[in-house]
Amino acid sequence: VSSSALGKVVSSPERSMAFYNLHTGESLKTTFYLDGHFLPQSLKEVNHLLRDHRTNEVCEMSPELLTLLSDLKDMLGTSRPFHIISGYRSPATNNMLSQQSGGVAKKSLHMQGKAIDIRIPGIETKYLHQGAQVLKGGGVGLYSRSDFVHFLSRLLSYKYYQDVFVFRFLSSFPLFQIIQNHFTEVPFTQ
């Protein structure tokens, strides 16, 4: 993991998450950041779980992306696992998917470990999307027909793609004091 990526950390002493890969059936609950440091073995486990399930290729996922996911989980007040639709994609897989669908970018950030497609059971994707927008830490798109949120660690411009609205956010790590009244409705049931 590059030192520049690791240097962009907010001041939370511990970051833990749970994942469930919908394609492989694998689960992982891990603490990937503790006392000012990313934990290499945990990152390796996350990278393996988020691998390209078609080719089994593993990529180093962006620590910024993982940090944003952790902030989203904390903001929503849930310990439920992120269900992974797509993490890393090899160039071959991405090329195949982009030929099959106009909704897959030819230069997708999935190929760089900087994008992930997620949902959380029991939380409507519109609330997951709304929470990601509030974080203002990366790009986010809502795929309502496919019921998932596309989350990026890179800044984007405002764009519309069919049922997807992707944003450009202003800062990498804003103040993370998120208040529940950012939501128009309660984001999930307990």
Average pLDDT, the chain: 78
Structure confidence by residue, pLDDT tens digits, 143-184: 988 999 998 885 444 444 444 433 333 333 332 222 232 333
The average pLDDT across 51-60 equals 97
pLDDT score, position 168: 35
- Per-residue confidence at 135, pLDDT binned at 50, 70, 90? confident
What CATH number should be reported for the domain whose range is 61-182? 3.30.1380.10
- Per-residue confidence at 137, pLDDT binned at 50, 70, 90? confident
Structure confidence by residue, pLDDT tens digits, 78-111: 999 999 999 999 999 999 998 887 778 888 899 9
Domains of the chain by residue range? 61-182
The token pair at 159 is 């764009």
- Per-residue confidence at 139, pLDDT binned at 50, 70, 90? confident
pTM here is: 0.75
